[in-house]
Structures are given as structure tokens and as C-alpha cells.
Chains A and B, each alone.
Chain A
């Protein structure tokens, strides 16, 4: 009985990042937009889990959640999916080349991920003839970078729960 309970608990914690990924996409919370700042939780979630435990978030699920975000936000299909996959790609690259897990390493390597993903985002919207507030995009990138350690802490806690 205790073993089954342990198994269920493990499965739940293992599935939590995936559930969170789809929840924020469907609920339109992938970008938390408050009065003075906005944070792209989607990017942080994908980056952290592809970097630390890639088997938790499949690339196919990341693509699907990007498509859902596009539909919910009314953007052309594929724009969010593409930028999320770029974030996943940078995370996969960093995973291959790094050995030690530290917040600083993750945080610094998050900069190119954000930059490349946002450039791709900008280009795909530009070629789709969509006007967006580019100042907002910049502000969002800065605050996403600043906010990274907070979510890193939360996800690290979750990762510990999965491992134990």
C-alpha cells in the first residue's frame, strides 16, 4: 500500500511540470503581465526542465503547448512553438556542454536563450504582418531574466521531490 502511494506521489510530481506547461498555455498565463512588470513563465519552465530533466518535458509537448499559446493569444500558429523550441534547443546545448549545476551557470546561459528566442519571435511576427509593442517585448525579456532565480528555486524544490 505504501509502495503504491509512493508510486502515485512520484508520478504526480513527475507529471507536474507537464501539467503546469499545458495549464499556463490553455489558461493564457504563459506571460504574467502585471502593472509594472511582465514575466514569460513559459520560457523559464521550458528552459529549466529541458536543462535539468529533459525526460519530463518532451519536445512534442513543448511544440503543442506553443501552438495552444498561439491560438489563445491570437498569434499566427507556430510563432510561440518556434520560440519555445529555440529555448529548448539552447537548454539542450547547455546541458551537453556543462557539468556542474549552479544557479549562476543556468542564469547566464539563459541570456542567449532569451535573446535568440525573442529575435525569432520578432522575425516571425514581422513576416506575418503582426504589429506588437516591441518595448513590451524588451521589458518582458528583462523581467523574465530577473525573475529566473525565483522560479529556479521553486523548480529545484520540485526536482528534489521527484528525486527523493
Chain B
């Protein structure tokens, strides 16, 4: 029995510590190195940040080159499917256009009313937009993190926490900044929690991502009167994002208040980063 236990010990030690043929490092040394890497990730220091930025930028660029064949292949299949669906899109766009035409008169009136009310309360509205545009460099559709990489970083004064918009719609925030690239965490991600306000019901809540297309509203008041179609805007309560950035509209499904985003997160190629939001 003792001999058998010894054999197991020897086998484990041999597998773990021996370098083996043509191996330059032992598994044990590399495991320790990995643990050190994980630990270092939690430390914020300028030299470490530079090193991290350098490693990440290099890997993103290499990844961009490696993914060229698969990207062009998927681009070709998109091109084919777009051609096939062109008539359906035309019918849908025509319908949407008519609806928008009907809504224009309503929104003009609301805008006028809004200006008059602001004048009445003598509010100073600062509407300085300080956007910087960027291209989506890598969108790897990670199963664990709903995020993508954009082609600007600290070289364009990007900072962690800045709001990212698709046109004028809020889609996420910056979570990782390198020299020439940054990572955008989308609102649909499990780690994304954004303070919002609903309109016209004016309830404050948290927009919580679940890794799927439709994030949900959490921490709503008990007797809320939210209805299908209510609009969702950033509340600006956390003091990071500007208030009033449109996000999406409410859909109530299975007693859950879900949000249908105004932007299709799978179809984003260019984004705006709000530099004034911090």
C-alpha cells in the first residue's frame, strides 16, 4: 500500500517538476509565474501599467492580423445575406420612415415646450459635446466578457469609466486603457451596472447586464408604473456619465423589466467616446 502511495507521489512530482524532453521550463515554475501574473494584475503602479499596456497593444495588433482571413470570410457571408435580405429591409425601412415622419411633429412640439420650461426655471444647460470617434478594432465575442477593443487609448486622452456611444446612444464604458487601444465593456455584460432614469415614469434604477442582448432593470421602487415602451436614459447619478444619454426602451417579459437597446451591439463598427463625461 505504501509502495503504491510512493509511486503516485513520484509520478506527480515527475509530472510537475521534471522539464522533460525538449522542455525549457518546468510546469511548476510556470504555474508559479501564472499565479504571480494574476497577483500583479491587482497592483496599480505606473511601470506595471506601461508593461501591461505594451503587452496588450502588441497582442491586439497581432490578433488583428491573425483574424484578417476569418474577418474577410464573415464579411463576404454578410455581403451575400445582405443582398438576399435587401427587399425585406426596404419594406421595413419604408414603414419605419413613415412612423418617424409622424413622430417628428410630436418631438418638435416637445422640444419647444422643453425650451420654454427651461427658460422659465432659468436653467443653465451646458450642451458641450466633447466626443472623440474610434473604430472597433477587435470584437472577439468572448463568451465570458461582452466587450470589444477600440483603436484609441491614452494617446487620445481616453480614461477608464468614460461613456461610449453608438451615435448618440449609450452602449457601454471604457474599462481598460492602453497606449493605442482600449476595451469597452458593453451594457449587456454581467459586470455592467449603470444608474438610469426611466421616462416618462421618472423612476431611478440600475441597468444590469446578464451577458445576453437584453439587460434588466434592478432596484426599481416597489410600486412602479413602468410600461412597455418607456424610454431609458442615463441618470448621471454616479457622477461619471452625463445625464440624459438615451439607452433603450422597456419591454416587460415574464414579469422582468427588460431593456431593448437602441443600438444593436453586434453591428457596431464606429463609436464615440464622451471625453467630458469624467
Q: What separation, in Å, do the CA atoms of A73 and B138 have in the docked complex?
A: 10
Q: Are A82 and B34 in contact (CB under 8 A)?
A: yes
| Chain A hits for B8, CB < 8 A | 97
In chain B, what residue has the closest Cβ to A121?
A: B144
Q: Are A66 and B25 in contact (CB under 8 A)?
A: no
A151 CB → nearest B CB, Å: 18
A37 CB → nearest B CB, Å: 11
One of B27, B37, B145, B176 near A92 (C-beta < 8 A): B27
Number of interface residues of B (CB under 8 A): 49
In chain B, what residue has the closest Cβ to A84?
A: B34
Chain B residues 1 to 33 lying within 8 A of chain A, measured CB to CB, are 8, 11-12, 14-16, 20-27, 30-31, 33
Q: Are B23 and A58 in contact (CB under 8 A)?
A: yes
One of A66, A79, A95, A128 near B15 (C-beta < 8 A): A95
Q: What separation, in Å, do the CA atoms of A44 and B183 have in the docked complex?
A: 29
Known A-B contacts A63-B30, A63-B34; A77 and B41 likewise in contact (beta carbons under 8 Å)? yes
A78-110, CB under 8 A of B: which get 1 and which 0?
110110011011001101110000000000000
Q: Are B25 and A55 in contact (CB under 8 A)?
A: no
| Chain B hits for A128, CB < 8 A | 38, 41-42
Chain B residues 134 to 149 lying within 8 A of chain A, measured CB to CB, are 138, 140-145, 147
Q: Does A23 contact B (CB under 8 A)?
A: yes
One of B14, B52, B144 near A73 (C-beta < 8 A): B144
Q: Does B211 contact A (CB under 8 A)?
A: yes
Chain A residues 95 to 153 lying within 8 A of chain B, measured CB to CB, are 95-97, 124, 127-128, 130-133, 136, 140
Of the listed residues B21, B26, B27, B52, the one surrounded by the most CB atoms of chain A closer than 10 A to its CB is B27
Q: What separation, in Å, do the CA atoms of A60 and B11 have in the docked complex?
A: 21
Q: What separation, in Å, do the CA atoms of A59 and B191 have in the docked complex?
A: 32
| Dominant secondary structure at the A interface | helix
Q: Are B176 and A74 in contact (CB under 8 A)?
A: yes
One of A73, A76, A89, A131 near B142 (C-beta < 8 A): A73
In chain A, what residue has the closest Cβ to B41?
A: A76
A48 CB → nearest B CB, Å: 16
Q: What separation, in Å, do the CA atoms of A158 and B11 have in the docked complex?
A: 28
Q: Does B35 contact A (CB under 8 A)?
A: yes
One of B11, B30, B38, B60 near A93 (C-beta < 8 A): B11
Known A-B contacts A78-B37, A96-B15; A58 and B22 likewise in contact (beta carbons under 8 Å)? yes
One of A31, A78, A130 near B143 (C-beta < 8 A): A31
Sample (26) of A-B pairs whose CB atoms are under 8 Å apart: A26-B63, A28-B141, A38-B143, A54-B22, A55-B22, A58-B23, A58-B24, A59-B27, A60-B25, A60-B30, A71-B59, A73-B140, A73-B144, A76-B42, A77-B40, A85-B27, A86-B31, A89-B31, A92-B20, A93-B12, A128-B41, A130-B191, A133-B143, A133-B190, A136-B211, A140-B143
